[in-house]
Amino acid sequence: MKLTNWKAIAESIGISAIVASLIFVGFQIQQDRRVAESQVNMAALEIALARDAAISEYADIWVKARDMQDLSEEEVEILERLVRMAAQKAFLGALATLRIRDGVGSYEFKNAPGQVMEFAILLHENAGAKKTWSELADREEEYYEKTESNFAKSSFNTVVRDFLRQLQE
Protein backbone atom coordinates (compact mmCIF):
# COMPACT_ATOMS: atom_id res chain seq x y z
CA MET A 1 0.00 0.00 0.00
CA LYS A 2 1.06 3.48 -0.65
CA LEU A 3 1.92 5.92 2.10
CA THR A 4 -0.97 8.19 1.11
CA ASN A 5 -3.45 5.32 1.62
CA TRP A 6 -2.08 4.68 5.12
CA LYS A 7 -2.28 8.37 5.84
CA ALA A 8 -5.95 8.50 4.72
CA ILE A 9 -6.75 5.44 6.83
CA ALA A 10 -5.03 6.95 9.89
CA GLU A 11 -6.89 10.23 9.41
CA SER A 12 -10.20 8.38 9.10
CA ILE A 13 -9.48 6.45 12.30
CA GLY A 14 -8.53 9.69 14.07
CA ILE A 15 -11.69 11.47 12.94
CA SER A 16 -13.79 8.46 13.99
CA ALA A 17 -12.14 8.49 17.43
CA ILE A 18 -12.85 12.21 17.84
CA VAL A 19 -16.51 11.77 16.81
CA ALA A 20 -16.88 8.80 19.17
CA SER A 21 -15.37 10.78 22.06
CA LEU A 22 -17.70 13.73 21.37
CA ILE A 23 -20.70 11.39 21.35
CA PHE A 24 -19.50 9.91 24.65
CA VAL A 25 -19.10 13.38 26.17
CA GLY A 26 -22.62 14.26 24.99
CA PHE A 27 -24.06 11.18 26.68
CA GLN A 28 -22.08 11.95 29.83
CA ILE A 29 -23.40 15.53 29.95
CA GLN A 30 -26.95 14.26 29.45
CA GLN A 31 -26.48 11.74 32.27
CA ASP A 32 -24.99 14.41 34.56
CA ARG A 33 -28.00 16.65 33.90
CA ARG A 34 -30.39 13.82 34.81
CA VAL A 35 -28.46 13.17 38.03
CA ALA A 36 -28.59 16.89 38.89
CA GLU A 37 -32.34 17.01 38.21
CA SER A 38 -32.84 13.96 40.43
CA GLN A 39 -30.82 15.56 43.21
CA VAL A 40 -32.84 18.77 42.95
CA ASN A 41 -36.08 16.80 43.01
CA MET A 42 -34.91 14.87 46.07
CA ALA A 43 -33.88 18.07 47.86
CA ALA A 44 -37.23 19.67 46.97
CA LEU A 45 -39.05 16.63 48.34
CA GLU A 46 -37.06 16.79 51.57
CA ILE A 47 -37.84 20.50 51.95
CA ALA A 48 -41.52 19.89 51.17
CA LEU A 49 -41.65 17.16 53.81
CA ALA A 50 -40.00 19.47 56.34
CA ARG A 51 -42.47 22.23 55.46
CA ASP A 52 -45.43 19.89 55.76
CA ALA A 53 -44.12 18.52 59.06
CA ALA A 54 -43.79 22.06 60.41
CA ILE A 55 -47.29 22.96 59.25
CA SER A 56 -48.60 19.76 60.85
CA GLU A 57 -46.80 20.57 64.08
CA TYR A 58 -48.55 23.95 64.16
CA ALA A 59 -51.80 22.84 62.53
CA ASP A 60 -53.86 24.83 65.03
CA ILE A 61 -52.14 28.07 63.97
CA TRP A 62 -52.40 27.13 60.28
CA VAL A 63 -56.15 26.53 60.66
CA LYS A 64 -56.63 29.78 62.59
CA ALA A 65 -54.82 31.64 59.81
CA ARG A 66 -56.89 29.89 57.15
CA ASP A 67 -60.07 30.97 58.94
CA MET A 68 -58.66 34.49 59.46
CA GLN A 69 -58.99 34.22 63.24
CA ASP A 70 -56.98 36.52 65.47
CA LEU A 71 -53.52 35.24 66.28
CA SER A 72 -51.36 36.03 69.29
CA GLU A 73 -47.96 37.65 68.69
CA GLU A 74 -46.33 34.29 69.19
CA GLU A 75 -48.67 32.64 66.69
CA VAL A 76 -48.05 35.42 64.16
CA GLU A 77 -44.31 34.77 64.46
CA ILE A 78 -44.81 31.03 63.94
CA LEU A 79 -47.09 31.65 60.93
CA GLU A 80 -44.50 33.99 59.39
CA ARG A 81 -41.83 31.33 59.77
CA LEU A 82 -44.07 28.68 58.21
CA VAL A 83 -44.87 30.97 55.28
CA ARG A 84 -41.20 31.90 54.84
CA MET A 85 -40.29 28.21 54.84
CA ALA A 86 -42.89 27.47 52.17
CA ALA A 87 -41.80 30.47 50.09
CA GLN A 88 -38.13 29.56 50.36
CA LYS A 89 -38.88 25.98 49.29
CA ALA A 90 -40.78 27.19 46.24
CA PHE A 91 -38.16 29.82 45.35
CA LEU A 92 -35.15 27.52 45.66
CA GLY A 93 -36.91 24.66 43.89
CA ALA A 94 -37.90 26.86 40.98
CA LEU A 95 -34.45 28.45 40.84
CA ALA A 96 -32.72 25.06 40.80
CA THR A 97 -35.03 23.84 38.05
CA LEU A 98 -34.29 26.92 35.97
CA ARG A 99 -30.54 26.64 36.47
CA ILE A 100 -30.49 23.01 35.41
CA ARG A 101 -32.76 23.52 32.44
CA ASP A 102 -31.99 27.06 31.28
CA GLY A 103 -28.55 27.70 32.77
CA VAL A 104 -27.19 29.87 35.56
CA GLY A 105 -28.59 33.39 35.56
CA SER A 106 -32.08 32.44 34.39
CA TYR A 107 -34.83 34.03 36.47
CA GLU A 108 -37.85 33.39 34.25
CA PHE A 109 -39.92 31.85 37.05
CA LYS A 110 -42.98 31.66 34.82
CA ASN A 111 -40.99 28.94 33.01
CA ALA A 112 -40.87 26.85 36.21
CA PRO A 113 -44.57 26.78 37.06
CA GLY A 114 -44.54 23.60 39.16
CA GLN A 115 -43.01 24.92 42.36
CA VAL A 116 -44.37 28.44 41.94
CA MET A 117 -47.93 27.28 41.23
CA GLU A 118 -47.83 24.81 44.13
CA PHE A 119 -46.86 27.66 46.44
CA ALA A 120 -49.53 29.95 45.00
CA ILE A 121 -52.17 27.25 45.57
CA LEU A 122 -50.97 26.81 49.16
CA LEU A 123 -51.44 30.56 49.70
CA HIS A 124 -54.74 30.65 47.83
CA GLU A 125 -56.15 27.94 50.12
CA ASN A 126 -55.09 29.76 53.30
CA ALA A 127 -56.18 33.40 53.48
CA GLY A 128 -54.04 34.13 56.54
CA ALA A 129 -50.92 32.63 54.96
CA LYS A 130 -51.62 34.58 51.76
CA LYS A 131 -51.95 37.83 53.71
CA THR A 132 -48.79 37.06 55.68
CA TRP A 133 -46.81 36.22 52.52
CA SER A 134 -48.08 39.34 50.78
CA GLU A 135 -46.90 41.51 53.68
CA LEU A 136 -43.52 39.74 53.77
CA ALA A 137 -43.13 40.09 50.00
CA ASP A 138 -44.00 43.80 50.18
CA ARG A 139 -41.32 44.31 52.84
CA GLU A 140 -38.83 42.38 50.71
CA GLU A 141 -39.68 44.52 47.67
CA GLU A 142 -39.04 47.69 49.68
CA TYR A 143 -35.67 46.34 50.72
CA TYR A 144 -34.78 45.27 47.17
CA GLU A 145 -35.70 48.70 45.81
CA LYS A 146 -33.53 50.46 48.39
CA THR A 147 -30.54 48.18 47.88
CA GLU A 148 -31.11 47.45 44.20
CA SER A 149 -30.54 43.77 44.88
CA ASN A 150 -32.03 40.31 44.56
CA PHE A 151 -33.66 40.49 41.18
CA ALA A 152 -34.38 36.76 41.38
CA LYS A 153 -36.53 36.94 44.51
CA SER A 154 -38.36 40.00 43.20
CA SER A 155 -39.10 38.18 39.94
CA PHE A 156 -40.31 35.15 41.90
CA ASN A 157 -42.66 37.31 43.98
CA THR A 158 -44.09 38.87 40.82
CA VAL A 159 -44.84 35.47 39.29
CA VAL A 160 -46.45 34.24 42.53
CA ARG A 161 -48.68 37.32 42.55
CA ASP A 162 -49.62 36.63 38.91
CA PHE A 163 -50.57 33.03 39.73
CA LEU A 164 -52.59 34.22 42.73
CA ARG A 165 -54.50 36.63 40.49
CA GLN A 166 -55.24 33.79 38.08
CA LEU A 167 -56.45 31.57 40.91
CA GLN A 168 -58.64 34.40 42.24
CA GLU A 169 -60.46 34.75 38.90
What is the mean predicted confidence (pLDDT) over 43-64? Answer: 85
Query: 118-143: per-residue pLDDT in tens?
Result: 899 999 999 999 999 999 999 888 87
Amino acid 75: pLDDT: 92
Query: 55-98: per-residue pLDDT in tens?
Result: 889 899 999 998 989 999 999 999 999 999 899 888 888 877 77
The DSSP letter of residue 111 is G
Query: When comparing pLDDT for 146 and 91, which is higher?
Result: 91
The alpha helices in the chain, defined as continuous H runs, are 3-57, 59-66, 73-101, 113-124, 127-147, 151-168
Q: Where are the domains of the chain?
A: 3-168
Rounded-to-integer distance, Cα 79 and Cα 47, Å: 17
pTM comes to 0.70
Asked if the model's pLDDT at residue 35 lies above 60, the reply is: yes
End-to-end CA distance of the chain: 80
The DSSP letter of residue 82 is H
